[in-house]
Amino acid sequence: MLQGKKIIIGISGSISAYKSPMLVRELIKSGAEVRVVMTPSASKFISPLVLTNLSKNQVIIEMFDEKVQFGGSWHIHLATWCDAMIIAPASATTLSRLANGNFDTALSVVASALPRSTPLVVAPAMDSDMWQHPAVLRNVIQLERDGVTIVPPAEGELASGLYGVGRLPEMDVLLNSLRFALGAKSPSAGQNGTTDSGGFHSQLQDFQNFSDEYQSLINGTDTQNEKITITESLNHPLISIEDAIEKDTWTVELEFQKLKDSLGHTSKSKLEGKTILITAGPTYEKIDDVRFIGNFSSGKMGFALATEAVKSGANVLLVAGPVSLPTPNGVLRIDVQSASEMYDAVMQHFYKSDVAILAAAVADYSPTKKVSGKMKKKDVGDKLKLELHSTKDILASLGAVKTNHQVLVGFALEATNEIENARKKLTSKNCDLIILNSANKPQSGFGGDDNTITIISAEKEEAFPPMTKNACAAIILEHISLQLHDGE
Ligand code: CTP
């Protein structure tokens, strides 16, 4: 796939720029021709001379450097020369430049000049608090909407000495993302520029290619493909988290349509045709390969919401923690284990959702170090001290990036000052509704088939008597449809 390809590597100012020579080397070993463009701050982290030698081409840093740029159109020549561009690492500032059209560096100006059919792959790398900054997430979501292939950063030790998400992924992940973008048949992956302005015919062609592939998948003719068929999917998890991340809007919409057709769905509701993202169940935070920190959530409330939402004609994407419940008919399910996997899956799919209901009991803390293998008692001794770090608050992260057209619903399990605490969550996490469960009521919360809920909005709170989780779900969905703006 990379043999004979012309690749531009963009490098921006992040400590992980020290890995860039390896990327240049690996690409050249794969038979690609490489040119490097870096930002002035990247040149403080890694020597341009090393990159010039490895790539066998003069590295470009400045917009106006006569040694490397002949005439005023050098960026156009370079952008049209390449088959793909990868920016690794992409700093928060470079993400912002690309997402907001501030093309004021040699690197961003080349990215801006890429023809629409040339894939742009961007691998952000930064400290984990920067990565979680709402402005950075907004920019990443914008770039993804613009058709850029984002390679999410990996979790691990960061240059700051902290532990978290923000590392530049391993070389094989970067190379595979580039291969994927070069070979992508979908309209969103591997295409630079927005998908809804121009390029419509090439989207149709892509869609046609995809439909053929999809048809053979449904007919079971593609024996190489491990993915299960639509009919099987009615009773099984449909997509793994890795698949889900690779799936584009076309794929997901087609699958929803197929599922709805197979159910002969007819109902009319304001939720009909809306995409609803639901989280359910606990998360497991690994201590070692056989032990974890978890909680008693059964996932029943989230699964009841998914079941009832399908009945309203909604497209339901269920991100489920480790639970033993069967997938409700007509639901697309992504299985995750940890809080960080749940975060990634939810962030990936939120931008195309009209409603998000976060019913999962996400672990608030996760072990800082995960031991590989099994810890032995003889090595640990009488006392085991675990250092935990806080996980990312998924609900609050969505609240920070949600648009006025999206309805965001959270749950609150409270034991004291219930209404007051739940109301604080409504405001601090920027939700439209909070569903309060009382930890003090017997028919409430984890495990059982019943629940006792109070629905809290900015204007009012409404308490309901104990009822089945399915009945609670139907009431919650009715309240959500009231929050949807007419005509949306
Ligand atoms: N939640 C989340 N991500 C987390 C923790 C919680 O998305 N890391 C969501 C839950 O799915 C739920 C809501 O936040 O919708 C409230 O969760 P809860 O545990 O009650 O609130 P916390 O903010 O963790 O506060 P506390 O435990 O202090 O009450």
Q: What is the CATH number of the domain that holds 455?
A: 3.40.50.10300
Q: How confident is the model at residue 348 (pLDDT cuts 50, 70, 90)?
A: confident
Say yes or no: 91 and 162 in one domain. Answer: yes
pLDDT band (50, 70, 90) for residue 230? very low
Shared-domain flag, residues 210 and 356: no
Q: Which atom of ligand 1 is nearest to the CA of 398?
A: 7
Q: Closest ligand 1 atom to the C-alpha of 413? A: 20
Task: Return the pLDDT at 156.
Answer: 79
CA angle 231, 234, 238 (to 5 degrees): 95
Query: Using CA positions, which residue lies closest to atom 4 of ligand 1?
Result: 393
Mean pLDDT to the nearest integer, 450-464:
91
Separation of CA 360 and ligand 1 centre (Å): 8
Ligand 1 atom index nearest CA of 392 = 8
Ligand 1 neighbours (beta carbon < 6 A): 279, 339, 358, 360, 362, 364, 391, 393-395, 410-413, 425
Q: Does residue 217 sit in the same domain as residue 179?
A: no
Is residue 15 domain-shared with residue 79, that is, in the same domain?
yes
At 427 the pLDDT is 96
Structural domain tally of the chain? 3
Instruction: Answer yes or no: do 438 and 310 share one domain.
Output: yes
Longest CA pairwise span in the chain (Å) = 76
Report the CATH number that the domain containing residue 169 is assigned in CATH: 3.40.50.1950
In a domain, 379, yes or no: no
Q: Are residues 54 and 173 in the same domain?
A: yes
* 328 and 242, same domain (yes or no): no
Which domain range does residue 172 map to? 6-184
Mean pLDDT computed over 440-462: 84
Q: Say whether both 237 and 179 belong to one domain.
A: no
165, 394, 446, 454: residue to mutate for ligand 1 pocket, most atoms within 8 A of CB: 394
111 shares a domain with 88: yes
Q: What is the pLDDT of residues 85-138, one digit of tens each?
A: 999 999 999 999 999 999 999 999 999 999 989 999 999 999 888 888 888 888
The position carrying tokens 């639509």 is 230
Question: What percent of the chain has a predicted confidence (pLDDT) above 90?
Answer: 52
Residues 217 and 227 sit within 8 Å (Cβ to Cβ): yes
